[in-house]
Amino acid sequence: MSYLKGFLVTFRQIFQKRVTTPYPAEKRAKPERLHGRHVLGRYEDGMEKCIGCELCAGVCPANCIYVRGADNPTDNPISPGERYGFVYEINYLRCIHCDLCVEACPTGAITESKMFEFSFTNRNDAIYTREELLVDSESGKPKQLPWEDWREGEDLNTSGWLRATSPNGDASYEGQIAWSGDLGYGIREAEIGQSDTKTPEEDQ
Amino acid sequence: MMIVALDPLLSSDIGFSVVAVMLLKVVLAFALLMVSVMLVIWFERKIVADMHNRVGPSLAGPWGILQTLADGIKLFFKEDLLPERADRVVFRLAPYLSLVPAFLSFAIVPIGGDFTNGGDGTVSIFGHRTLLQVADPPVGILLFLALSSIAVYGVMLAGWSSGSKYPLLGSVRASAQMISYEAALGLSMATVFLSSGTLSTSGIVSGQATWNWNLLATGVIPFVIFVIAGTAELNRPPFDLVEAEQELVGGFHTEYSSIRFALFFLAEFMNMITMSAIAVTLFLGGPNGPILVKQIAWVWPILWFFLKVMAFLFTFVWLRATLPRLRYDQLMDLGWKVLIPASLGWFLLIASLNIGKDRGWSTFLVVPIGLVILSLAALLLNGAIKKAKDSSLHAADLSEISEGTDQ
């Protein structure tokens, strides 16, 4: 009767739960710190965080970032510092989403978002300009480009807050807010686990 | 007129209305078969997907039910390739050689009509009494055997005329497999003829209009053999050596593309339906079944027939999802050394029982004697097979040794 065992195995599969997600129609939840496309942040007063220091371009292993800094106009400054990023381009045909630019940024201006589903049809669209990367000057939300597929809530949590759980590996940073405020969100709270005061030994 | 058909429709004068009813039946059968092929392909893909824990076609129409239609339209607009080394005429002819028999053999299957309580299975269409089948020739099921033999030509010529090696291998396998399994198929059918005394499908079905569908005589060995041989005849898994993707690319239809490929596919699934319908007709009482609501009495036979066929279709899909493909020698061994002797033995047993009944011999004497003779024959056969295997192994050993000395 062991012949029939195999038939039972296949028959039982009919009633089992499917693991398939019908992808473009329905999406699985993304990890909170997924490395998607970049966003350039603004302070709460609407000033740009980027100071045009070009550290991100220097650290980029794929050479995909091009930055030119310029002196802030004295009558109408764009960033709180001396200079601002006057050209800022990221080529997404080259970017490997390693997040080293985010690590390197001294002001937390550049961060990565969860959005990675974009399909442009020419090379010019692949190069995101400063205007496209900057968050909206009113709402502080990232700008959606026509070829990007976003879902509800994916454009949240796109600031230096993302670095909350990796404060340079130094235990003294635990629970401390080491990031600046964002337009539309204010200074975000440290995440659960990042701010609790338990030592790693207690945690285990 | 009785020679042409047993249908009461044709026994009266043939006028315009009779022709019209006939045409209606033909068109209905054609449409029914086409639509059910479309649904069966979807059904198979969906069930196999379920058994693989996948989702299956889900985008075309609700639950992907129009997937076959979409595939058909796509295939229709594809480029129709003709290989340079192909035999042009035969290459073009072959798909029709497998499609037309698949269509025709469905014509003899009664899909409805009440055969119980002495009913003759006829229904009334526009005032004419007629059987719910396109044709009911007295040779009945022999027509099916003949047509399925023609279908072998479709597969064989397709492979041969492609002028390419994998199709050729596939078609050589196909002709050997289909011919050897047709013997077992025919022998298991012969037992049904013995117990029904007729070849006509409506006669067989009305002979099965008892509570047990004659399962005692035909349900044990002939039915099992018919299902196995039928699966092999259809070239369906686990007997799909003809189109074994892993070994032969696509088998006999490797070189076919576009609508010609679609025709082969259509024929394959149509044969699957027809084989299920024939199995239901021969062994499971066709449309016979209890009539539960008297007001819509004509619906029940059709419903029972449909359910029985569905059970077969599901089994075919289930076999495909479960069993791995047989090796070629296993296939031949199963066909020639197990199925043919077993069906022949059962045929002889039923025949001797029938003769015993005619002569007034005691059944209690005929059955044991028959069983003893049959088991003796089985022992002899087993011994012969074993001896043959031993000697061929010995010969192989010898040739290996002689090859060794040559080097």
Examine the pLDDT at A154 and tell me if it is beyond 80.
Answer: no
3-state SS, chain B, equals CCCCCCCHHHCCCCCHHHHHHHHHHHHHHHHHHHHHHHHHHHHHHHHHHHHCCCCCCCCCCHHHCCHHHHHHHHHHCCCCCCCCCCCHHHHHHHHHHHHHHHHHHHHHCCCCCCCCCCCCCEEEECCEEEECCCCCCCCCHHHHHHHHHHHHHHHHHHHHHCCCHHHHHHHHHHHHHHHHHHHHHHHHHHHHHHHHCCCCHHHHHHHCCCCCCCHHHHCCHHHHHHHHHHHHHCCCCCCHHHHCHHHHCCHHHCCCCHHHHHHHHHHHHHHHHHHHHHHHHHHCCCCCCCCCCHHHCCHHHHHHHHHHHHHHHHHHHHHHHHCCCCCHHHHHHHHHHHHHHHHHHHHHHHHHHHHHHHHCCCHHHHHHHHHHHHHHHHHHHHHHHHHHHHHHHHHHHHHHHHHHHHC
pLDDT score of B401: 66
Digit-coded pLDDT (tens) for B256-297: 888 888 888 888 899 899 999 988 888 887 777 777 777 777
pLDDT score of A5: 86
- Chain B environment of A14 (Cβ under 8 Å): 47, 50-51
**What is the separation of C-alpha B147 from the centre of its chain, rounded to a whole number of angstroms?**
11
In degrees to the nearest 10, what's the CA dihedral of B178, B182, B188, B194?
A: 160
Q: Quick check: A20 and B47 CB within 8 A?
A: no
Q: Find out whether the peptide bond into A61 is cis, omega within 30 degrees of 0.
A: no
Higher pLDDT, A55 or B129: A55
Parse chain A into domains and list their residue ranges: 31-186
Q: Which two tokens stand for residue A201?
A: 């030994």
Higher pLDDT, A25 or B317: B317
The structural architecture, per CATH, of the domain A31-186 is: 2-Layer Sandwich (3.30)
Digit-coded pLDDT (tens) for B103-115: 888 888 888 777 7
Angstrom distance (rounded) from CA B283 to CA B280: 6
What pTM, to 2 d.p., does this model score? 0.76
- Chain A environment of B224 (Cβ under 8 Å): none
Nearest chain A CA: its distance from B53 CA (Å): 6
pLDDT score of B325: 85
Examine the pLDDT at B249 and tell me if it is beyond 80.
Answer: no
pLDDT band at A195 (very low <50, low <70, confident <90, very high): very low
Calculate the average pLDDT of chain A.
81
Q: Are B100 and B94 in contact (CB under 8 A)?
A: no
Q: Which helix (H) or strand (E) holds A4?
A: helix A2-13
Digit-coded pLDDT (tens) for B333-376: 888 888 888 888 888 888 888 888 888 888 788 888 888 988 99
pLDDT score of B369: 86
Q: Which two tokens stand for residue B293?
A: 């609501």
Calculate the average pLDDT of chain B.
83
Higher pLDDT, A73 or B291: A73
Q: Does A20 touch chain B (CB under 8 A)?
A: yes
pLDDT score of B2: 42
Angstrom distance (rounded) from CA B95 to CA B263: 6
Q: Does A4 touch chain B (CB under 8 A)?
A: no
pLDDT score of B120: 67
pLDDT score of B121: 67
Task: Report the pLDDT averaged over residues B21-29.
Answer: 86
Angstrom distance (rounded) from CA B360 to CA A63: 100
Examine the pLDDT at A33 and tell me if it is beyond 70.
Answer: yes
Task: Report the pLDDT averaged over residues B105-133.
Answer: 74
Q: Quick check: A7 and B318 CB within 8 A?
A: yes
Residue B25 CB neighbours (<10 A):
20
pLDDT score of B3: 46
Task: Report the pLDDT averaged over residues B53-74.
Answer: 88
- Chain B environment of A9 (Cβ under 8 Å): 322
- Among the partner-chain residues B51, B55, B322, the one whose CB lies closest to the CB of A20 is B55
**What is the separation of C-alpha A49 from the centre of its chain, rounded to a whole number of angstroms?**
15
- Nearest residue on chain B to A16, alpha-carbon basis: B53
Q: Give the relative orientation of helices B258-283 and B67-76 as an angle to the nearest 10 degrees.
A: 140
Least confident among A131-140, A155-164, B278-287: A155-164
Q: Are A129 and A92 in contact (CB under 8 A)?
A: no
